[in-house]
């Protein structure tokens, strides 16, 4: 650490030895730099602030359907619109700058100058506030350019307002047409699916498992009723078999039996007519009913033939027995009911078997139906939303047409300061002074490194390799001391003059202005 401090002290002493050279270099660079800065062309910066609602009619319409643009991207888009070549040429004509550009090269150069002179920046706190600044050497022309920029900006927006509205309407109409097409396709797919799987889809009777459970329950109920009728039929047969067999084979008994058969045949025919209103001739229930009618008619015909062949020897027959006739009637009715229930049980059994065979297919069909319904609901909801947005677009267009254009408002009119804003000459002069002092000090340090001198015992020991034993102090005379003081005063005066000259470069322009 001590060696470092000693080294720094030697550098400072070396710079001090060459202080006059360093001061001369600083003066030369400062004067040259200040002269250059003073001759730099000055420019005025005119500024204004406007309120611009850049979210056009597409904004509220597309909210929720599209991604909101980034404010930086929106600002870049506005800058490109403002600084387009047609708008810049229009600005040149409005401010008479185009009169000086007679050739295409001059016009291109003028457009490039205007593009570099106009700046558009956004407000961080409010995305709808924008600052417009224009740089020009002529103060009045800078103000006129700023006003022209605002005018072009607003007029361009007004010209494009109707185009934006129609563009928004066309966009919504295209979206509605596409959505309607997709909705029709979804409806067609759903209708085709229901038509193909009409027997497997859930209806008023519930889904597949409810229908299977209900079919099994109906089958069990019919089978139970059929067992009850079979038990009743056995009991009636037992009671009839217990009667006197003499009367059973008599013609009168057979006529009484034919009367009961006629009633049953007529009842079955009425039932067949009722079944034909719901089913075809090939339906199992209709076919079984007709088969039963044929059997009963054959039995009736056989009874009639036997009655015709067998004479009635005894006028007293079973037809005179109300109990026997009642039993035969109840037996025929029980047989008919049992036949009906047998047909119904067969139908229920086939239905259960059919549903059980579809156990692996029905869940997939129901899942596909749910998916189709969900897709249709989503498309229908989107279509309704687009229709509402179209009405909102029409209403917004009517409101804008009746209320006028309030998209742009000038918050701060164009303002130009009395003094030039660019370049910042005091800051540049200060930079020149710092650069000059640094250059002088660097030159003095370079000379110190190139031509070193011994300034302390450590350097002497390092240079000679001989141990340092002591030193002898140089006693200056009064004349030498006076000379050193005058030299220091002159140096300080020169340094003060340099600082005073720097101050003059900052004060004199203000006094002149």
pLDDT tens digit sequence for 361-400: 777 777 888 888 898 899 899 888 888 887 777 766 665 5
What is the model's pLDDT at position 57? Answer: 45
Sign of the four-CA dihedral 288, 292, 298, 299: positive
270 or 109, higher pLDDT: 109
Distance CA 436, CA 429 (A): 10
Instruction: Taking the CA atoms of 241, 245, 249 and 251 in sequence, report the sign of the dihedral they define.
Output: negative
For 243-264, the pLDDT digits (tens) are 444 344 445 445 555 566 777 7
- Judged against a pLDDT cut of 70, whether residue 404 lies above it is answered with no
Distances (CA, A) of 317 to 42, 240, 245, 327: 146, 15, 11, 15
Q: What is the pLDDT of residue 257?
A: 53
Tell me which residue has tokens 């103060």: 139
Q: 497 with 489: CB under 8 angstroms?
A: no
- Higher pLDDT: 453 or 138? It is 138
pLDDT value at 489 more than 90: yes
Give per-residue pLDDT as tens, 317-367. 555 566 667 777 777 888 888 888 888 888 888 888 877 777 677 777 778
Residue with tokens 């002088």: 440
| Confidence (pLDDT) at 309 | 64
Q: How far apart are alpha carbons 123 and 310 in whole angstroms? A: 123
CA distances in angstroms from 146 to 54, 68, 77, 88, 494, listed in the order given: 20, 30, 19, 12, 47
Q: How many CB atoms lie within 10 A of CB 166?
A: 12
Q: Say yes or no to pLDDT of 27 above 90.
A: yes
Q: What is the pLDDT of residue 32?
A: 94
Q: Is the pLDDT of residue 304 over 90?
A: no
Report the chain's mean pLDDT, rounded to a whole number.
Answer: 77
Q: Which residue has the higher pLDDT, 32 or 244?
A: 32
Higher per-residue pLDDT: 5 or 513: 5
The number of beta carbons lying within 10 Å of the beta carbon of residue 51 is: 15
Which of 459, 482, 480 lies closest to 471 in space, CA to CA? 459
d(CA 382, CA 385): 5
**Distance in angstroms (rounded) separating the CA atoms of residues 198 and 401:** 54
Cα distances (Å, whole numbers) of residue 218 to 27, 211, 224, 274, 338: 118, 10, 10, 21, 16
Contact in structure between 139 and 416 (CB atoms under 8 Å): yes
Contacts of 129 (CB under 8 A, 6+ apart): 49, 50, 51, 52, 122, 123, 411
So what's the pLDDT on residue 249? 47
pLDDT of residue 31: 92
For the chain, how are helix, strand and coil distributed in percent, rounded to 5? 75, 5, 20
Reported pTM: 0.43
- Residue 23 has a pLDDT of 92
pLDDT for 58 equals: 46
Q: Is the pLDDT of residue 310 over 80?
A: no
**Each residue's pLDDT tens digit, 200-235:** 666 544 566 777 788 888 888 888 888 888 887 787
Rounded average pLDDT over 65-88: 65
Cβ–Cβ under 8 Å, residues 393 and 61 = yes
CA angle centred on 258, ends 252 and 261, rounded to 5°? 150
Residues of the chain with CATH 3.30.70.1130: 44-175+405-415
* CATH class in words for 44-175+405-415: alpha beta
Average the pLDDT over 394-416 and give the result: 67
At residue 406, the pLDDT reads 47
Q: How many CB atoms lie within 10 A of CB 201?
A: 16
Task: Name the packing angle between helices 284-309 and 251-276 (round to 10°).
Answer: 160
DSSP state of 84: S
Please, are residues 208 and 358 in contact by the beta-carbon 8 Å criterion?
yes
pLDDT at residue 66, rounded to an integer: 44
| Band (442; pLDDT cuts 50, 70, 90) | very high
Q: Which percentage of the chain shows pLDDT scores above 70? A: 77
Establish whether the linkage from the previous residue to 51 is cis, with ω within 30° of 0.
no
In the predicted model, is pLDDT for residue 41 greater than 90?
no
List of residues 6+ apart from 13 with CB closer than 8 A: 455
Give the model confidence (pLDDT) of 159-216 as tens digits.
Answer: 655 555 566 677 888 888 898 899 899 888 888 888 887 766 665 445 667 777 888 8
Considering only residues 144 and 199, tell me which one the structure prediction assigns the higher pLDDT. Answer: 144
- CA 8, chain centre distance (Å): 66
pLDDT above 60 for 65: no
Q: Give the model's pLDDT for residue 389.
A: 80
Name every residue whose Cβ is closer than 8 Å to that of residue 222 and which is 6 or more positions away in sequence. Answer: 341, 344, 345, 348
């Amino acid at each position: 650490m001590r060696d470092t401090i000693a080294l720094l002290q030697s550098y400072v002493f070396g710079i001090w030895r060459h202080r006059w050279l360093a001061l001369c270099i600083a003066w030369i660079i400062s004067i040259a730099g200040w002269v250059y800065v003073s001759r730099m062309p000055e420019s005025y910066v005119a500024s204004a602030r406007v309120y611009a609602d850049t979210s056009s009619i597409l904004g509220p319409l597309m909210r929720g359907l599209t991604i909101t643009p980034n404010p930086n991207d929106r600002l870049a888009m506005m800058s490109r619109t403002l600084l387009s070549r047609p708008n810049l040429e229009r600005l040149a004509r409005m401010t008479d700058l185009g009169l000086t550009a007679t050739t295409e090269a001059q016009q291109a150069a003028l457009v490039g100058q205007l593009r570099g002179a106009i700046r558009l920046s956004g407000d961080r706190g409010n995305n709808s506030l924008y600052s417009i600044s224009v740089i020009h050497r002529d103060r009045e022309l800078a103000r006129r350019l700023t006003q022209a920029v605002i005018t072009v900006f607003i007029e361009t927006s007004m010209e494009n307002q109707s185009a934006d509205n129609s563009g928004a309407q066309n966009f919504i109409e295209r979206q509605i047409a596409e959505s309607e097409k997709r909705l029709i396709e979804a409806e067609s797919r759903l209708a085709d699916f229901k038509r193909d799987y009409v027997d497997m889809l859930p209806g008023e009777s519930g889904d597949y498992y409810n229908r299977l459970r209900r079919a099994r329950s109906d089958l069990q109920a019919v089978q139970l009723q059929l067992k009850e009728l079979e038990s009743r039929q056995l009991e009636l047969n037992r009671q009839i078999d217990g009667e006197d067999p003499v009367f059973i084979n008599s013609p009168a008994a057979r006529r009484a039996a034919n009367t009961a058969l006629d009633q049953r045949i007529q009842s079955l025919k009425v039932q067949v007519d009722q079944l034909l209103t719901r089913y075809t001739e090939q339906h199992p229930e209709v076919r079984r009913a007709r088969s039963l009618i044929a059997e009963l008619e054959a039995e009736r015909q056989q009874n009639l033939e036997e009655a015709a062949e067998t004479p009635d020897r005894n006028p007293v027959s079973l037809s005179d027995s109300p109990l026997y006739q009642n039993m035969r009637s109840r037996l025929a009715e029980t047989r008919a009911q049992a036949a009906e229930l047998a047909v119904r049980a067969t139908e229920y059994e086939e239905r259960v078997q059919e549903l059980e065979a579809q156990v692996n297919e029905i869940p997939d069909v129901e899942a596909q139906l749910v998916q189709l319904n969900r897709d249709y609901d989503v498309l229908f909801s989107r279509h309704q939303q687009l229709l509402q947005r179209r009405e909102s677009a029409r209403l917004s267009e009517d409101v804008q047409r009746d209320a006028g254009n309030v998209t742009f408002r000038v918050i701060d009119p164009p303002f130009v300061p009395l003094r030039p804003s660019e370049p910042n000459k005091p800051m540049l002069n200060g930079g020149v002074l710092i650069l000059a002092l640094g250059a002088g000090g660097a030159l003095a340090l370079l000379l110190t490194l190139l031509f070193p001198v011994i300034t302390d015992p450590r350097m002497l020991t390092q240079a000679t390799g001989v141990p340092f034993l002591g030193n002898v102090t140089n006693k200056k005379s009064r004349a030498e001391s006076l000379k050193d003081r005058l030299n220091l005063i002159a140096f300080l005066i020169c340094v003060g003059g340099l600082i005073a000259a720097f101050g003059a470069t900052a004060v004199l322009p203000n006094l002149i202005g």
